[in-house]
Structure 1
Amino acid sequence: MATGISLLAFIAFYLLYCSSKKMTTMGNLGFEQPIGAHRKASKYVGLALMIFSLGLSCFYWGIGSGTFTFFIILMTVASLVILLAPLRLLNYRLLGILFLCSILFETLLF
């Protein structure tokens, strides 16, 4: 569940990051061009996913700790996106390995 919440927060932040006017379209993941073409819709979808992720976090961990955990996840994801996207290190292979390890650790440890 924590991996799913983190994945939703990542997708939401990446949508909002790609739909900003200051970001140059790089094309690391392949779907940045349609996001840049439909900025307003991408912002609405990103905000909806962000609110949905916050709701799931509050449902899973409770209101206080869920909100706190969501903001920690959001800060971590945002830092990684802002650092790795301009360096073109964000690709499907890295994200797949990261989330596969996260699912594996979540299943084995929790």
Structure 2
Amino acid sequence: MYTIIIGFTTLGFILNYLSSKRVILTSQTGLRTWAYANTFKSKGLGLAALTIGLILHIMHLGLGSGIFSYLVTLMTVGSLVVLLYPLNVFNFKSLLLVFAISLSLELYL
């Protein structure tokens, strides 16, 4: 469950980050160019993903601890994206691989 929640939060933050006009795109990939070209759709999908992440946190942990846990997750994801995304440390395929491994470990262990 936490993997899906963190996945929604990460996707929402990345979409909102890439739709910003202040971001300098160093390499042209599919998600980057789409989010930069379609800022209105990207911000809408990013906000929807962030809202789904918040709702899932609240449903899983309760109101107070869900909001607190969501803020901690959002700060962690935000820091990692702002620091590592411009350096091209990770891309969409590596994030998908980490998500799949984390989800399988969470479900089967």
- What is the alpha-carbon root mean square deviation over aligned residues? 1.8
**1:82-101 equivalences in 2 (<5 Å):** 82-101=82-101
TM-aligned CA distance change 1:29 to 1:9, over 3 Å? farther
Which residue of 1 is the match for residue 81 of structure 2? Answer: 81
CA-CA distance at 1:38 after TM superposition: 0.9
CA-CA distance at 1:27 after TM superposition: 4.1
Which residue of 1 is the match for residue 55 of structure 2? Answer: 55
Amino acid at match of 2:11: I
- Stretches of 4+ moved more than 6 A in 1? none
**1:1-110 equivalences in 2 (<5 Å):** 1-27=1-27, 30-107=30-107
CA-CA distance at 1:93 after TM superposition: 4.4
Moved more, 66-75 or 26-35: 26-35
When normalised by structure 1's length, the TM-score is 0.86
Aligned-partner Cα distance in 2 for 1:5–1:55: 9
When normalised by structure 2's length, the TM-score is 0.87
The number of aligned residues is: 109
Identity, % of aligned positions: 37
Amino acid at match of 2:56: L
